[in-house]
Structure 1
Amino acid sequence: MNNTSTLPRTSTKPLAAAEKVYPIALDLREETEKSRKLASPIVEKLAEQGLFRMALPKFLGGIEDNPVETLNVYELLSSAEASVAWITWNNHLACTFGRYLNKEDMKKVYGDPMHVYANSTRPEGFAKKVAGGYMVSGRWTLVSGCELADWFVLRCLVTSDENPATLGPGAVLKLVFLPKKQVKIIDTWSVGGLRGTGSHDIEVEETFVPENLAVGFEDDVPLKTPYSRLPIGCINASGNGAMSLGLLRGALDELTQMCLERVTPGKNPDLRDRPAVQAALAKGNTILKSHRAELHRAVDALWKASVNGESFSDELLADIWSASCEAASASRAMITELFAVAGTSSLYTKFRMERIHRDIHGVLQHGIVQPHWMNQAGMAYAGLKPTAAMFGI
C-alpha cells in the first residue's frame, strides 16, 4: 500500500488483525476469483484472527466496543479484495442475530472459534409451526459464503392455521438457525462483480428447527450490552458504506501505483502528467476522507448513545443511513471516474482497477444502500416518522 489513502493507525485489535489478513487477501486474489469463493488460507486467517466474530459478546470472541472498529476492518479488507470484506461483513450480520438467543444456545451455535456463518434476511423460506418448533423448507437466493459456512441463519415466513400463508399484513417472520448438514447448495453464482463471495442459492427440505433456535426482530435480547443495543439495519448499512470506501481506496492506490510505474520516454505525456488523472486523484482522496469522516462520526455518535443507555432518535439513525448510502454512491461515481482516466489500462485484468470497477457495482446492488433509504432519512430530517420496518431495528 502507498500512503495516498491510509487509515489512521490505531492499536485496536480488529484493525491490527485485518492488517494480518490484508497481504494474504491481496496475494490470493486470483484464486478467490477463479474458485468463486475465498481462498482457504484467507478463510483460515480471518477465523484465526476472530474477524468472523466481531458482533458476538466478548465471551464468544466479539469486540463489544465501538463499531467504528468494524468499519476500519471492512475498508482495509475491501481495499485488498472486496469479496474478503463482504464475507467478513456478512458474518458480522449472522453473528448479530445471535443476540436473540439465550447464552447456552449462543454457545451451541457460536461456540467454535473457527466456524464461519452465512445468512439470508430474504423471507424466501417457510417455517410451519409444529409441536416444539418449526418444520422449515424453502430456497434462498444470494447466500454469500454458503460453501464456507458451518451455520446458517435464514429468514422464513411462519405458517400455521392462525397466520397468513403469504407475505403482507399480519405475516409473522422468523430467523432460524441451521447447521450446514441440513442445507443443500445449488451452484448459481456465475457473475462478474463480487465473484469471490460464492453467493449461491441454498435449499432446505422439511427440516425441524426447535423453538429456541427460531427468533424474530421483535423478540427480547437476553444479553444486555451496548453492542447488543445497536440497531441492526443502519449498522449493516454502515458496513456497506465502509466497503465501498475501501474499494475507492484500492482504486486510488492502484492508479497511484500505475502513475509511478508507467513512466516512459517519448513525447506523449505519461499517465501521471495528465491533468485529468491529477484532478481525479485529488478529488478521489477528498471524497474518501470526507465520507469516511462523516460515516465514522455518525456511527461513533450512535455508539456513545448506546453506552450511555440513551434512546436512539430518528435523526441519529438517519445520520448513519444517509452517510452510508452517500459513501457508497459517491465511491461508485468516483471509481467510475478513476476507471475512465486510467485509459485502456483499466480494461486489463492484470490491473486491479478492472475488478474494483466490477465489484463496486456489485456492492451497491445490495438492498441496504438503495435510494429509498435516503428517503427514509429525509423523512426523519423533515420531522416525519420513517416508515421502513428496518429503519430503527
Structure 2
Amino acid sequence: MNAPPEKITSGTHAATATWADLSKLLVDIRARRNEFSRAQKIPKEIVDGFRRVGVYRAMAAKRFGGEERTPADFCRLVERISEADGSAGWVASFGDGARYLAALPDDTLRKVYANGPDVVLAGALFPLQPAKRCADGFIVNGVWPFASGSPEADLIGVGITLEDDPSGDLPRVAVMPAEKVTIRPNWDVIGLQGTGSHDVVVSDVIVPEEWTLIRGGPPTLDGPIYRYPAVAFAAQAHAIVGIGIARSAIDDVIAMAETRASITGAPVMAERGYVQLEIAKAEAMLRSARSFFYEATEELWKEALKGEVNLGTTTLMRLAATNAARQGAEVCRIASGLAGTEALYSNSNLARAMCDSFVVAQHAALNEGTLQSAGRALLGSAIQPGFP
C-alpha cells in the first residue's frame, strides 16, 4: 500500500488528527479483537476513538464542521481500520451515514449537528414497517434486524412505509434519538461478531416528518459529495471492509510461512510449492479487486465533480464493490486453507478473517443479486428500483 499522508483530515475539528493517532488506535483494536467478539459490539471507547480520528465527520458537511472528504479518502480510512479488525471496520463504515442524513431538511440538519459533526448514525432499513400519520408526524412501531453499530449510536434510522407516500418506490427512513429505541441483543453469528448488529425495537415513537428522509432521494445539501449516489456509496463503504480483512489475512500467512515448520517434518511453509502458488494467486486477486474498486470510485467522483453522474459509471461502481467483497472472501478462504490446523481455532485471526469476510459478502448490497442487476444495466435491460 502507498504511504498515507501525514494528516487524516484537514478541517478545523481534525487539525491534530494524524495517521499516528490512528495507528495508536489500531494497536488497541488489534489487541482487543477477541473481546469485541465476546461482547458482540465495539465498545464506546473505540467508537470515541473513531470520532477523534475523523470517521464520523469525514462525510459531514463543512458548514456543520465536517470534512466533505472524497469517497476514496473515506474508504481508505475504513480499509485501514478493517485490516486491524473486520468488526471495527464494519462499524466505522457507517460513517457514510452523513451522506444519508444530507437528505434531511436544512433546519433538521442544524439540530443534528448542533453539538458538532461527529454524529454516529446506525439503524436498519428492512423490512419496511408501516407507520401511521398523526398530528405531529408519524407513529413508528416495529422490529428491524441487522442494526450494526446500534449500541453506541447517537441516532437510529429505520425503514417505514406510508399510505400514498409521494416517495414512490424509494423507502422512507425515520430518524430518531437512540434513547427512544430498545436494542434486542441477539447478534449470535459466525462472523463480524463484534458489530453489534442486533435487532432494534421501536414502540409508539412519534417521529416528526422533518426527521424523515428518502433513501436514495435528492439531498438537501449541494456539492460533489451530495451528487455522489448515496446507495452506491454505502455499498462500497461495506465492500472495502472485505478488502482490508483480506489484506490482513495474506499478511498473517506470509508472516507465518517464514518460520512455521510442519510437525511431520515437511519444509517450512515458505518453501512449499503449493503455498508459493496459492499466495501468489491470492495477492493478485486482492490487488486486482482493490484496483478496480478505487478506479471505479475515482471515475464516479470525477462525474460528481462535474455535476452529473450517469447510470453506466454508477453501475461499474456497484460491480466493483460486489467484486471486492467476493474476492476478499475468496482470498481469506485461500489464506485460512494455507494456515492448516492453525485456522481451526476459534481465536485464530485467520479463522476470524474467513468468517468475517464471508459475512461481508453476504450483505444484500454485495451479494449475487447485485451482479445480476449490474448485468441487466450493462445490457440495457430494465433495472429494479434502488439499483444502482
- Using the size of structure 2 for normalisation, the TM-score is 0.90
Structure 1 residues 118, 46: CA separation in 2 closer, same or farther (over 3 Å shift)? same
Helix, strand or coil at the partner of 2:102: helix
Match of 1:118 among 122, 131, 148: 122
Match of 1:389 among 379, 385, 388: 385
Match of 2:4 among 6, 9, 33: 9
RMSD: 2.3
Match of 1:269 among 238, 256, 267: 267
1:3 corresponds in structure 2 to none
Structure-to-structure mapping, 1:21-60, within 5 angstroms: 21-60=25-64
1:158 corresponds in structure 2 to 162
1:231 corresponds in structure 2 to 229
Counterpart-to-counterpart distance in 1, 2:111 and 2:326: 39
Does the 8 A contact of 1:158 with 1:171 survive in 2?
A: no
Deviation at 1:358, TM superposition (A): 1.0
Structure 1 residues 111, 31: CA separation in 2 closer, same or farther (over 3 Å shift)? farther
1:175 corresponds in structure 2 to 173
Q: Aligned AA for 1:316?
A: T
Unaligned runs of 5+ in 2: 10-17
Counterpart-to-counterpart distance in 1, 2:170 and 2:280: 50
1:294 corresponds in structure 2 to 292
Match of 1:253 among 251, 254, 276: 251
Does the 8 A contact of 1:298 with 1:319 survive in 2?
A: yes
Structure-to-structure mapping, 1:77-226, within 5 angstroms: 77-92=81-96, 94-113=97-116, 114-159=118-163, 162=164, 173-217=171-215, 219-226=217-224
Does the 8 A contact of 2:296 with 2:317 survive in 1?
A: yes
Counterpart-to-counterpart distance in 2, 1:151 and 1:37: 17
CA displacement 1:261-285 (0-9 Å, x = unmatched): 4258994211221112222221222
Structure 1 residues 191, 333: CA separation in 2 closer, same or farther (over 3 Å shift)? same
Counterpart-to-counterpart distance in 1, 2:245 and 2:356: 8
2:354 corresponds in structure 1 to 357
Does the 8 A contact of 2:43 with 2:152 survive in 1?
A: no
Unaligned runs of 5+ in 1: 1-5
Counterpart-to-counterpart distance in 2, 1:208 and 1:146: 19
Deviation at 1:39, TM superposition (A): 3.0
Counterpart-to-counterpart distance in 2, 1:328 and 1:263: 32
Are 1:283 and 2:275 an aligned pair? no
Counterpart-to-counterpart distance in 2, 1:56 and 1:143: 21
Does the 8 A contact of 2:113 with 2:119 survive in 1?
A: yes
2:326 corresponds in structure 1 to 329
Counterpart-to-counterpart distance in 2, 1:329 and 1:218: 24
Are 1:313 and 2:310 an aligned pair? yes
Helix, strand or coil at the partner of 1:196: helix
Helix, strand or coil at the partner of 2:362: coil
Does the 8 A contact of 2:170 with 2:215 survive in 1?
A: no
Match of 1:68 among 60, 65, 72: 72
The size of the alignment, in residue pairs, is 378
Q: Aligned AA for 2:110?
A: K
Deviates more, 1:257-266 or 1:344-353: 257-266
Deviation at 1:233, TM superposition (A): 1.8
Does the 8 A contact of 1:55 with 1:63 survive in 2?
A: yes
Counterpart-to-counterpart distance in 2, 1:33 and 1:334: 22
Counterpart-to-counterpart distance in 2, 1:194 and 1:101: 30
Deviates more, 1:344-353 or 1:178-187: 344-353
Helix, strand or coil at the partner of 1:147: helix
Identity of aligned residues (%): 26
CA displacement 1:147-196 (0-9 Å, x = unmatched): 1112111111114xx569xxxx9677421111022101111111120110
- Using the size of structure 1 for normalisation, the TM-score is 0.89
Helix, strand or coil at the partner of 1:100: coil
Deviation at 1:100, TM superposition (A): 1.2
CA displacement 1:239-298 (0-9 Å, x = unmatched): 222111111101011111212342589942112211122222212221221111111011
Structure 1 residues 344, 177: CA separation in 2 closer, same or farther (over 3 Å shift)? same
Structure 1 residues 280, 218: CA separation in 2 closer, same or farther (over 3 Å shift)? closer
Structure 1 residues 124, 345: CA separation in 2 closer, same or farther (over 3 Å shift)? same
Q: Aligned AA for 1:28?
A: R
